[in-house]
Amino acid sequence: MIGIVDYGMGNLHSVQNALRRLEIDHFLSEKKEELVEADALLLPGVGAFKDAMHALKKDGMDGFIVEAVQSGKPILGICLGMQLLFEESEENGLTEGLKLLPGRIVRLPGITSDNTTYKVPHMGWNRMLIQKPETPLLQNLSTDFVYFVHSYFVQTKDRDVLLATADYFEEVPAVVGRGHIFGAQFHPEKSSDAGMEILKNFGAYVERRQQGEAI
**Is 79 one of the catalytic residues?**
yes
**Is 150 one of the catalytic residues?**
no
- Rounded-to-integer distance, Cα 84 and Cα 205, Å: 22
Catalytic residue among 26, 91, 187, 197: 187
Catalytic residue among 26, 79, 150, 197: 79
Cis, bond preceding 109 (omega within 30 deg of 0): no
Cis, bond preceding 44 (omega within 30 deg of 0): no
Neighbours of 181 (CB within 10 A): 19
**Is 33 one of the catalytic residues?**
no
Rounded (10°) angle between helices 192-210 and 12-21: 70
Catalytic residue among 26, 91, 122, 189: 189
Neighbours of 21 (CB within 10 A): 12
- Positions marked catalytic: 79, 187, 189
